[in-house]
Amino acid sequence: MALRFIATSVFLIAFQCGAAEYRILVDNPESFAVETTLEEVVVGAAEQLTGMPAADLTANTTDLFSLPEALVNSYGFDGGFFLVDVDIDGLKSRLETAGIDIWSGKRPQFLVWATEERGLDRVMVGNELNSLIDALFSGAARYALPLNRPLMDLDDTLALSPAEIWGEFSGAVLQASARYKVDHVLVLGDRPDQQSLRFWIYGVGQDFTSGEVSGADAKTRAEGLMSILLQYAKSLSLESVPESVPESVPESVPESVPESELLVESFLEQTAKVTLPETKLLSIDYDEVLVLMAFLDYLEIDPAQVKISEISMYPELANIVLETELSMKELDGLVSGFGAVQFVSPLVYALR
């Protein structure tokens, strides 16, 4: 059963209190498998906490996820959604008892540029549907690894070419990526006919890392790359963990929140954070890319009111950072004016 998760700002608040709320879109409540869904949600939360697939988590402890209800604070239907409140503290305790490491430290964010070899040509992959990108971003969401795509507007098209990517011109890659203010860049060179995927990982002030994975289809190649990328990201996270705990805790951090809770952040939490007061983040659940594109055009019908500064697209989910002076109520009125929009929760909508 394919579950479609929608994260809201409630997820961040609840997680810092030792819980995480998941919303699953439900088409038919009467045929909905509650017990199966609870287990899948708990397993998914464990994969996010550890950055490990379920098969590895249960390799030595086959009953690791038995009685998933014991790891859930509450669950139930709410409108068209099934809500599950996962006991993160309890889940972490069970994982640690089984000798499984929690992925601690700040998770690095990667900007992903992609090229594809088509016959004798190598072309940039834009925001069109692409099986490799879809599979890679699905894996990133599964393991809570923050990936973002460039806008691929005229500036990006002029800033970086396939020849510069395959020629390993690190200066060109980092300069083109500078507008997105990220420290880590993942560059892909997919060769479907050769069943091969080249990759390069760049970091500001660091030598780049490169390699190649093979696979008969895009999903297999994406899974191979994700395994390598997770190990690389975990090594970066270890570097971000302070060697000693400061004697004093900033006043803005509640004393009741353990430092490890503040360090272990999911991908969904990181994308929900907006650091500037004049920016707002919309989370859009969508089915059709063309409808999403029309919605984006609609949002910027008056750039003086709303300007899109960043878009992160994943299968069935788009995170859109807006620069706007509109209030929450005014922004909701604007978004709701697009005919195909369905309100889910503040700043979270579904396109139908």
Give residue-wise pLDDT tens across range 35-52. Answer: 999 999 999 999 999 999
Predicted confidence at residue 255, as pLDDT, reads: 42
- In a domain, residue 39? The reply is yes
Predicted confidence at residue 175, as pLDDT, reads: 94
| Token digits of residue 303 | 């750039």
Question: Is the pLDDT at 124 greater than 70, yes or no?
Answer: yes
Question: Is the pLDDT at 161 greater than 60, yes or no?
Answer: yes
- What is the Cα–Cα distance from 127 to 149, expressed in whole angstroms? 8
Q: Which residues, including other chains, have CB under 8 Å from residue 61's CB and lie 6 or more apart?
A: 98
Predicted confidence at residue 16, as pLDDT, reads: 38
DSSP letter at 180?
A: G
Q: Can you tell me the mean pLDDT for 300-329?
A: 81
Predicted confidence at residue 231, as pLDDT, reads: 95
- In a domain, residue 24? The reply is yes
Is 257 or 229 the better-scoring residue by pLDDT? 229
Of the pLDDT bands very low, low, confident and very high (cuts 50, 70, 90), residue 347 is confident
One domain, residues 92 and 157: no
Predicted confidence at residue 6, as pLDDT, reads: 39
Kindly state the helix (H) or strand (E) to which residue 159 belongs, with its residue range. Answer: helix 154-159
Question: Cα 293 from chain centroid?
Answer: 20
- In a domain, residue 88? The reply is yes
- What is the Cα–Cα distance from 124 to 114, expressed in whole angstroms? 6
Asked if residues 40 and 54 have their Cβ atoms less than 8 Å apart, the reply is: no
Predicted confidence at residue 64, as pLDDT, reads: 95
- What is the Cα–Cα distance from 212 to 40, expressed in whole angstroms? 32
Q: Can you tell me the mean pLDDT for 116-121?
A: 94
One domain, residues 20 and 68: yes
Percent of the chain with pLDDT over 70: 83
One domain, residues 119 and 232: yes
pLDDT digits (tens, 9 = 90+) for 193-229: 999 999 999 988 888 999 999 999 999 999 999 999 9
One domain, residues 214 and 284: no
Of the pLDDT bands very low, low, confident and very high (cuts 50, 70, 90), residue 280 is confident
Percent of the chain with pLDDT over 90: 51
Q: Can you tell me the mean pLDDT for 310-336?
A: 82
Question: Is the pLDDT at 342 greater than 50, yes or no?
Answer: yes
Name residue, tokens 């479609």.
4
One domain, residues 147 and 230: yes
- In a domain, residue 290? The reply is yes
Question: Is the pLDDT at 7 greater than 50, yes or no?
Answer: no
CATH number of the domain that residue 225 is part of: 3.90.950
Asked if residues 189 and 199 have their Cβ atoms less than 8 Å apart, the reply is: yes
- In a domain, residue 254? The reply is no
- In a domain, residue 245? The reply is no
Question: In residues, how long is the chain?
Answer: 352
Question: Is the pLDDT at 346 greater than 90, yes or no?
Answer: no
- CA distances 147 to 55, 110, 226, 322, Å, are 23, 5, 11, 18
Is 318 or 178 the better-scoring residue by pLDDT? 178
**Strand positions, DSSP E, the chain:** 5-6, 19-25, 72-78, 81-87, 110-118, 121-124, 147-148, 184-191, 196-203, 209-214, 279-285, 306-314, 317-324, 341-345, 348-351
- What is the Cα–Cα distance from 294 to 297, expressed in whole angstroms? 5
One domain, residues 40 and 69: yes
**Domain limits for position 55:** 5-97
One domain, residues 132 and 233: yes
Name residue, tokens 């919303």.
23
The pTM of the full predicted model, rounded to 2 decimals, is 0.66
Q: Can you tell me the mean pLDDT for 130-144?
A: 92
Question: Is the pLDDT at 339 greater than 90, yes or no?
Answer: no
At residue 249, φ and ψ (nearest 5 deg) are: -105, 130
Of the pLDDT bands very low, low, confident and very high (cuts 50, 70, 90), residue 17 is very low
One domain, residues 31 and 87: yes
Average pLDDT, the chain: 82
Query: How many C-alpha atoms does 112 have within 13 Å on its Cβ side?
Result: 29
Last residue of a domain, one of 187, 219, 239: 239
Query: How many C-alpha atoms does 294 have within 13 Å on its Cβ side?
Result: 13
Predicted confidence at residue 135, as pLDDT, reads: 93
Is 234 or 29 the better-scoring residue by pLDDT? 234
CATH number of the domain that residue 312 is part of: 3.30.70
Predicted confidence at residue 352, as pLDDT, reads: 74
One domain, residues 286 and 332: yes
Name residue, tokens 């507008």.
179
Predicted confidence at residue 46, as pLDDT, reads: 96
Predicted confidence at residue 275, as pLDDT, reads: 33
One domain, residues 65 and 149: no
Start-to-end CA distance of the chain, whole Å, equals 21
22 forms beta bridges with: 84
Of the pLDDT bands very low, low, confident and very high (cuts 50, 70, 90), residue 18 is low
Last residue of a domain, one of 53, 69, 97: 97
Q: Can you tell me the mean pLDDT for 155-172?
A: 94
Predicted confidence at residue 111, as pLDDT, reads: 95
Last residue of a domain, one of 43, 71, 97: 97
Q: Can you tell me the mean pLDDT for 266-276?
A: 37
Asked if residues 314 and 138 have their Cβ atoms less than 8 Å apart, the reply is: yes
Burial class from Cβ neighbours inside 10 Å (0-12, 13-18, 19+) for residue 169 reads middle
- In a domain, residue 103? The reply is no
* Number of structural domains the chain divides into: 3
One domain, residues 329 and 235: no
One domain, residues 127 and 223: yes
- In a domain, residue 298? The reply is yes
Question: Is the pLDDT at 250 greater than 90, yes or no?
Answer: no
